[in-house]
């Protein structure tokens, strides 16, 4: 039997959900869309942490991209602690350009300036998440964290990924699994 099952990428296209007991403040109550998961490691974007300090217009201005009179209203999010100055756009697949990575049958990942220009000009993807930075794991690291019960995972869907209710994504992702959060807490059952 071949024991190299980690190349299957079973988490690619899934949402990774931090357990309530997650101690790392960078990932506490986070929901991460997994873009890559294979034998070499894993990469994903946190999709439930809006950056209050930076608007899409601010970002366009910093990148010297012309801001149309009426520009798209897209929330800039904290995608993770790695390369926080780099932007990534998760998006629906009717938009595909050079440089777009097809994650699964519904979602692409594009990290070019062109997608930001297209979004600003209302010619971008129908649905998109703009994140600065990403979450990354070395070979076998994420699998080890899952075995230590640090993460749950659930199939991604359009509502969890792209709707405007960013603040409640963690709770909604947990509910999708059908688990009572109080049963996951370390506080449950004390007299």
Q: Where are the domains of the chain?
A: 5-184
Contact 101, 89 (CB under 8 A): no
Query: What is the Cα–Cα distance from 33 to 12, expressed in whole angstroms?
Result: 8
> Would the pLDDT of 11 be above 80?
yes
List of E strands, 60-138:
76-78, 82-92, 101-102, 107-110, 128-138
List of E strands, 41-176:
41-46, 76-78, 82-92, 101-102, 107-110, 128-138, 151-155
Query: What is the Cα–Cα distance from 108 to 105, expressed in whole angstroms?
Result: 8
pLDDT band at 28 (very low <50, low <70, confident <90, very high): very high
Q: What kind of architecture, by CATH, is found in domain 5-184?
A: 3-Layer(aba) Sandwich (3.40)
CB atoms within 10 A of CB 149: 11
Give 148's contacts (C-beta < 8 A, 6+ positions apart). none
Query: What is the Cα–Cα distance from 67 to 177, expressed in whole angstroms?
Result: 41
133-189: pLDDT as tens digits: 999 999 999 999 998 889 999 999 888 888 888 889 999 999 888 877 666 654 434
pLDDT band at 4 (very low <50, low <70, confident <90, very high): very low
Which range is least confidently modeled, 57-61, 102-106, 181-185?
Answer: 181-185
Query: What is the Cα–Cα distance from 144 to 160, expressed in whole angstroms?
Result: 26
Query: What is the Cα–Cα distance from 4 to 143, expressed in whole angstroms?
Result: 13
């Amino acid at each position: 039997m071949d024991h190299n099952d980690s190349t299957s990428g079973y988490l690619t296209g899934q949402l990774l959900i931090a357990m309530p007991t997650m101690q790392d403040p960078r990932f506490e109550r986070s929901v991460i869309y997994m873009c890559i998961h294979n034998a070499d490691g894993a990469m994903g974007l946190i999709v439930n942490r809006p950056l209050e300090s930076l608007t899409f217009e601010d970002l366009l201005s910093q990148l010297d991209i012309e801001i149309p009179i009426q520009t798209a209203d897209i929330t800039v999010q904290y995608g993770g602690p790695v390369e926080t100055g780099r932007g990534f756009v998760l998006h629906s697949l009717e938009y595909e350009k050079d440089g777009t990575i097809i994650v699964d049958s519904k979602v692409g990942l594009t990290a070019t300036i062109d997608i930001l220009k297209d979004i600003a000009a209302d010619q971008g993807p129908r649905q998109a998440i703009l994140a600065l930075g990403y979450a990354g794991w070395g070979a076998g690291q994420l699998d080890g964290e899952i075995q230590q019960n640090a993460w749950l995972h659930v199939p991604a869907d359009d509502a969890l990924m792209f709707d405007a209710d960013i603040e409640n994504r963690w709770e909604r992702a947990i509910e999708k699994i059908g688990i009572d959060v109080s049963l996951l807490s370390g506080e449950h059952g004390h007299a």
